[in-house]
Amino acid sequence: MSVDFQRYQQAAIKTLQPPTEDTDPVLVPLLGLAGEVGSLTTAYKKHLRDGPAHEQGKHQLREELGDVLWYIAALAHRFDLDLDDIATASLEKTKDRWRTTPDTEHTHFDDHFPEHERLPRQTTLTFTPTTRDDGRTVIVLTREDGSPAGDPLTSASHIEDDYRFHDAFHLAHATVLGWSPVTRFLLDRKRKSDPHTDEAEDGGRAIAIEEGISALVFSYAARHRYFADIKHIDNELLTTISHMTAHLEVSICRAADWEHAILTGYTAWRQLREQNGGIIHLDLDQRLLTVDPL
């Protein structure tokens, strides 16, 4: 017999015993869920230990999972939640977190703006280390025509950590997300034909938010080998970024898109760091960011 979540929950709560006097009605099903998770763990331990000799292994696992599901339904009822709605929300969260569409699927936030206000779909920038008269080495970012893109950058730190190459992160945001107020500033692609968009999406506050995201992620990355050999980022960090950008156009992008953008940016940053500069190629249509030596 096929059972959907709504029918299952309705049937399950019919067997839910009323709480005793002065007892939190949530406590018993909550403790029961914790106990059944332990029983499930024990059943799986036996399955690993005994292998094929444990003939009832699969049956026992099914039974323990059923008990877990019953307690989840009971808790949902105690919290006045619908199990069907919980399952739907869970699937939406999973879809947001993990890429299920081709990497080339892209939202361009500026398609209806004049061409000179759009992020270039393909372009090249050069990160050149330059020694100043005071002995400091700065990174000069230049466009394809040789004109400067922003001011020369140091790492602005007591310890040299090569944050001076951090514009690679903004370029990755532009490439993968189709969004980067910092890149718009660097390439003079602010959407000035619409004053409201220019102020709210491309203005100083949006730029500060993106710079804040870059600094936040860099602090996290420094504790995780700058994402070398790492394929996934903690949900907590992606959730914080989502909160920071909730009022901006980029809020329609998924956590999976942000993860892709961050890892793409750090791949480029590590190459720039190792090579002490480089030529970076952006392809927004293919969501690709590549680096060549100077």
What is the pLDDT, as a whole number, of residue 105? Answer: 55
- Percent of the chain at pLDDT above 90? 78
What is the pLDDT, as a whole number, of residue 2? Answer: 61
Overall CATH class of domain 5-97? mainly alpha
For residue 179, is pLDDT > 70? yes
136 versus 126: which is more confidently predicted? 126
For 6-41, the pLDDT digits (tens) are 999 999 999 998 888 788 999 999 999 999 999 999
What is the pLDDT, as a whole number, of residue 102? Answer: 46
What is the pLDDT, as a whole number, of residue 104? Answer: 46
- Output the CA torsion sign for 104, 232, 168, 109: positive
Least confident of 39-48, 97-106, 113-122: 97-106
pLDDT tier for residue 55 given thresholds of 50, 70 and 90: low
Cα 281 to Cα 65, 174, 220, 269, 289, distances in angstroms = 50, 12, 26, 13, 6
For 236-286, the pLDDT digits (tens) are 999 999 999 999 999 999 999 999 999 999 999 999 999 999 999 999 999
For 109-135, the pLDDT digits (tens) are 999 999 999 999 999 999 999 988 888
| Burial class (CB within 10 angstroms; exposed 0-12, middle 13-18, buried 19+) of 234 | exposed
Mean pLDDT of the chain: 92
What is the pLDDT, as a whole number, of residue 59? Answer: 85
Least confident of 38-47, 156-165, 171-180: 38-47
Residue with tokens 């070398």: 228
Distance CA 168, CA 214 (A): 10
Distance CA 138, CA 161 (A): 13
For 207-230, the pLDDT digits (tens) are 999 999 999 999 999 999 999 999
What is the pLDDT, as a whole number, of residue 39? Answer: 93
Residue with tokens 């977190």: 97
What does pTM read for this prediction?
0.81
- What are the residue ranges spanned by the domains of the chain? 5-97, 115-292
What is the pLDDT, as a whole number, of residue 53? Answer: 65
Least confident of 74-78, 132-136, 161-165, 240-244: 132-136
What is the pLDDT, as a whole number, of residue 258? Answer: 96
Determine contact, residues 127/139, Cβ cutoff 8 Å: yes
For residue 91, is pLDDT > 80? yes
Determine contact, residues 209/282, Cβ cutoff 8 Å: no
Determine contact, residues 192/198, Cβ cutoff 8 Å: yes
Cβ neighbour number for residue 278 with a 10 Å cutoff: 22
Q: Are strands 122-131 and 278-283 parallel, antiparallel or unpaired?
A: antiparallel
For residue 58, is pLDDT > 90? no
| Residues β-bridged to residue 279 | 126, 292
